[in-house]
């Protein structure tokens, strides 16, 4: 049982350690969630002067032979030249670009004609400072709904822009174009290419004045910190399962041990009652001797487990009495030599039975040697001092106390002081002096 108690203590300590670690990990994880949220909410800005290589924008003419042309029917009374520009947004961050847009600041007179795949938020400033703003899908618009300044050159929409005006490209939010989000570069899909058609007199439009705004997006499990939390939570989960399993097994094991001990205890009591019942004067003698023996065991420092072993062994010390005739056991007068020889046999007989029962260690030694005396004058072997097993030296003192404190066929019980005197007188001769000292202390403490 001591081992189970120790196991329980260890389990309890492990449980508290686990709870402490889980609490710390949870607090750190909450801090991590807050940091990730901040990270995801932060708008980052890239201009041509920026040196960040994480997310970049590059705007250049597409350069194919069909990517620039001349337009006569502008409806403006002048010829304009068109050019397709490519706006490439590249994501070299190892995470998603969750949201982004590109602002193009106009530095020369030009016209915005078309663009894909997203929408264009156009800002025009009139001479009086009035601002016209409209967001348009240039591939799919209704001319009647356009409220900003514009012309139609045949089928072509021409939105005039002057220095100071600007437009913001907003990517397509549907999954069809893959513009939002732009995956990280590890997937080799980290870019989005936007086409923009600009008109101007020369055919070249300055597109170098831009501002890319974007937000990165990562999950709490991304990156090295995310991996550490995955490992930490997995380890905690596995440890909890292991601990819970050990706890359940240990509880069941304890229940079984308790049940077995109950059965064993019951069986032992039946056996010792059988032995005691043969002697009218020693009813419950064995049980009391077992109790006193256990007290001594605890007093001399044995743990609970060893004290229980002492109790069970002491309980059976007189089991050999079942082989001694009741006549002799209950005789009131002095025993003859032969009768005493028969009584003595109870030690040998008891040991003979008990040595086969390994589940009750020390019982055979208790039965065999409990009538040995410390000075070697006892029976059956005449062992002395420490040659007498400790269990037998303990039982001898307990046995003597019970005999002296109860009436016997040949004498009445002794008074408390007489018993103490007997023990003191026989300390070192009949009894182990250390055990006597321990028992005298017990008598004092428990008022025996
Ligand atoms: Fe005995």
The alpha-helical segments, DSSP class H, found in 82-213 are none
Tell me how far the alpha carbon of residue 302 lies from the centroid of ligand 1, in angstroms: 24
| 201 C-alpha to ligand 1 centroid (Å) | 127
CA of 446 to the centre of ligand 1 (A): 25
Count of residues making up the chain: 448
Judge whether 183 and 189 are in contact, CB under 8 Å: yes
Place of tokens 């005739």: 325
Residue 371 Cα to ligand 1 midpoint, Å, equals 6
What is the whole-number distance in angstroms between the Cα of residue 317 and the centre of ligand 1?
6
Selected from 2.60.40.290, 3.40.50.2300, 1.10.1200.10, 2.120.10.30, the CATH number assigned to the domain covering 42-218 reads 2.60.40.290
Cis before 181 (ω within 30): yes
Q: Which residues contact 228 (CB under 8 A, 6 or more apart)?
A: none
The per-residue pLDDT for 17 is: 94
Among candidates 46, 73, 74, which has minimal Cα distance to 59? 46
The rounded Å distance from CA 314 to ligand 1 centre is 10
CB 319 within 8 A of CB 353: yes
**CA of 2 relative to ligand 1 center, distance in Å:** 30
What does pLDDT average to in each consecutive run of 10 residues of the chain (448 residues)?
74 92 96 96 93 86 91 87 94 85 96 94 92 95 94 92 96 77 64 93 94 92 92 95 92 88 81 72 82 97 92 91 82 84 92 85 93 96 95 96 85 91 96 97 91
pLDDT of amino acid 187: 57
pLDDT at position 185 is: 60
pLDDT at residue 184, as a whole number: 67
Helices within 355-415 (DSSP H only)? 363-369, 390-404
Question: CB of 410 within 8 A of CB of 334?
Answer: yes
pLDDT at 5: 74
Q: Which two tokens stand for residue 276?
A: 């005691």
**Rounded distance, CA 426 to CA 157, Å?**
125
The widest CA-to-CA distance across the chain, in whole angstroms, is 152
Radius of gyration of the chain (CA): 50
Q: How far is the CA of 294 from the centre of ligand 1 (A)?
A: 17
CA of 361 to the centre of ligand 1 (A): 18
Regarding the domain delimited by 278-446, which CATH topology (the fold level of the hierarchy) does it fall under?
Answer: Hypothetical protein af1432 (1.10.3210)
Beta strands 191-200 and 131-136 are unpaired
């Amino acid at each position: 049982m001591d081992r189970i108690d120790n196991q329980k203590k260890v389990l309890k300590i492990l449980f508290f350690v686990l709870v402490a670690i889980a609490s710390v990990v949870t607090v750190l994880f909450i801090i991590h969630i807050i940091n990730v949220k901040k990270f995801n909410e932060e708008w980052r800005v890239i201009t041509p002067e920026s040196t960040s290589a994480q997310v970049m924008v590059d705007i250049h003419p597409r350069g194919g032979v069909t990517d620039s042309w001349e337009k006569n029917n502008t409806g403006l009374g002048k010829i304009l030249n068109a050019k397709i520009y490519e706006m490439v947004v590249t994501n070299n961050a190892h995470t998603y670009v969750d949201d982004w847009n590109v602002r193009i600041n106009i530095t020369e007179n030009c016209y915005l004609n078309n663009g894909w795949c997203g929408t264009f938020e156009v800002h025009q400033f009139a001479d009086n400072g009035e601002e016209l703003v409209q967001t348009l899908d240039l591939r799919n618009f209704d001319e009647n709904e356009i409220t900003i300044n514009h012309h139609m050159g045949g089928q072509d929409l021409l939105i005039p822009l002057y220095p100071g005006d600007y437009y913001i490209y907003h990517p397509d939010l549907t999954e069809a174009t893959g513009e939002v989000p732009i995956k990280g570069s590890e997937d080799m899909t980290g870019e989005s290419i936007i086409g923009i058609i600009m008109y101007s007199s020369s055919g070249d439009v300055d597109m170098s004045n831009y501002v890319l705004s974007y937000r990165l997006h990562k999950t709490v499990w991304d990156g090295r910190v995310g991996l550490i939390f995955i490992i930490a939570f997995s380890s905690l989960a596995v440890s909890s399962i292991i601990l819970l399993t050990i706890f359940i097994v240990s509880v069941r094991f304890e229940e079984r041990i308790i049940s077995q001990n109950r059965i064993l205890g019951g069986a032992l009591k039946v056996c010792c009652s059988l032995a005691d019942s043969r002697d009218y004067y020693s009813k419950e003698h064995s049980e009391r001797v077992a109790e006193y023996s256990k007290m001594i065991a605890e007093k001399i420092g044995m743990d609970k487990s060893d004290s229980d072993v002492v109790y069970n062994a002491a309980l059976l010390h007189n089991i050999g009495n079942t082989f001694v005739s009741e006549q002799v056991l209950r005789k009131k007068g002095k025993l003859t030599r032969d009768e005493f020889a028969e009584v003595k046999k109870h030690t040998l007989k008891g040991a003979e039975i008990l040595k086969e029962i390994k589940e009750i260690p020390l019982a055979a030694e208790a039965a065999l040697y409990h009538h040995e005396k410390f000075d070697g004058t006892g029976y059956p072997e005449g062992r002395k001092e420490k040659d007498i097993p400790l269990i037998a030296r303990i039982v001898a003192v307990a046995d003597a106390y019970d005999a002296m404190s109860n009436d016997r066929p040949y004498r009445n019980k002794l008074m408390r002081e007489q018993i103490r005197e007997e023990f003191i007188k026989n300390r070192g001769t009949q009894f182990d002096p250390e055990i006597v000292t321990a028992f005298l202390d017990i008598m004092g403490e428990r008022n025996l």
